[in-house]
Amino acid sequence: MLATDSFFMAMFFFLSGLFVWPSLAHKAPQVFIRDRLLRLGLPFAIAAFTIIPIAYYAIALRQHPDPGFSAFWWKTITVGPWPSGPIWFVWVLLAFDLTASLLYRLSPRLLDPINRMSLRGFERPAEFFLFLLGVTAVVYIPARLYFGPSHWFEFGPFDVQANRVLLYAAYFFIGAGVGAANFNRGVLSADGRLAKSGWGWVIATLVPYCLLWVLITIKREILGNPPVLPGWYEASYGLCFAAFSAAILFAILAFFLRFKRSGWSTLDPMQSDAYGIFLVHYPIVLWLQYWLFDYDLPAIVKASVAFVLTVALSWAATAALRKIPGATKVL
């Protein structure tokens, strides 16, 4: 959990950003905005009013088994809390896309400095890594010190973790800079040095990851797990967090650039349905956990059953939804 929480959302924003600038270059502003609203805004709105209340109703029943779903739904959207669950990523990505559209209209060459860094990264990926680490540490550490590790901005279903919103923006726009031009001659080139890397990035990943666990141990065993941690601790944790996020991104990219350039993967059949699976999986996994709660089974068995059934049912639901006329333009 520590590993995935520390990098995978930042990586998703980076990967999303890679394709923004070329899309803006080939589409009229109104077409780009229309496409993003259709692909991101519409699913978020539908999910916020349907999928998310259905998902959290399973939790509500465990706490208070009396209220019916209609009463729970009405309270959720009128009184709150109205959590967005995992779909917070969708509205934040839409906000970044709309911001990118505005910035592109101001200057299509705005991200050229990042693209030049990417070109230098063809031969010297470590320089680009240091650039990524420097930028993300600068935006993340002060936000962590100010907001703390777990505060969220919340306005209806529009949630985002306060100390990470600038971190995610940095990953998104740095990704956009990499993808803006010269992709085949930049840091992510299949012929570049990153694609030829060995175990160096794995080591670069393990060092900050181990330091994160050292800091967690210090918090629990030495500091006594206080509700408010000293500034030096939050700053140190923030630096290790930023270093781990950047290093594991490079390690994953290096692996796929080196070993997965072509050929068939067992996950290939899921590609067209992946976005839909992401949107519909949350109520399925929470209701499966609700159902499994009363069974006296080992945790690994429950986890395995929930995982397999979540993938199968989410995939089946997405495949069914995509058969609705016009749904493939959204899902």
pLDDT digits (tens, 9 = 90+) for 2-23: 667 777 899 999 999 999 999 9
CB 157 within 8 A of CB 82: yes
Q: How far, in Å, CA of 16 to CA of 5, rounded? A: 18
- 3-class secondary structure, 132: helix
HSE (side-chain half, CA atoms, 13 Å) at 247: 19
Q: How confident is the model at residue 257 (pLDDT cuts 50, 70, 90)?
A: confident
HSE (side-chain half, CA atoms, 13 Å) at 196: 8
Mean pLDDT on 25-37? 93
pLDDT tens readout for residues 112-136: 999 999 999 999 999 999 999 999 9
Q: How far, in Å, CA of 299 to CA of 184, rounded? A: 46
pLDDT tens readout for residues 300-320: 999 999 999 999 999 999 999
pLDDT tens readout for residues 186-218: 999 988 999 888 788 999 999 999 999 999 999
Least confident of 57-61, 136-140, 281-285: 57-61
152: left (phi over 0), alpha (psi -120 to 50) or beta: beta
The b-or-e profile of 147-169 (16+ CB within 10 A means b, else e) is beeeeeebeebebbbbbbbbbbb
For residue 268, what pLDDT is reported?
A: 74
What is the H or E stretch that residue 16 is in? helix 8-17
Q: How far, in Å, CA of 147 to CA of 80, rounded? A: 22
Q: Angle of helix 51-63 relative to helix 69-78, nearest 10 degrees?
A: 110
In sequence order, the β-bridge partners of residue 159 are 154
Mean pLDDT on 97-113? 95
Q: How far, in Å, CA of 161 to CA of 137, rounded? A: 16
Q: How confident is the model at residue 67 (pLDDT cuts 50, 70, 90)?
A: confident
pLDDT tens readout for residues 164-184: 999 999 999 999 999 998 888
Mean pLDDT on 266-277? 83
Average pLDDT, the chain: 91
Name, in order, each residue with C-beta under 8 angstroms of 59's C-beta and a sequence gap of 6 or more: 286, 290
Q: How far, in Å, CA of 258 to CA of 126, rounded? A: 17
For residue 197, what pLDDT is reported?
A: 83
| Number of Cβ atoms within 10 Å of the Cβ of 78 | 8
Q: Which of 32, 163, 171 is nearest to 114 (CA)?
A: 171
- Residue 263 in this model has a pLDDT that exceeds 80: no
pLDDT tens readout for residues 216-243: 999 999 999 898 899 999 999 999 999 9
In sequence order, the β-bridge partners of residue 161 are 152
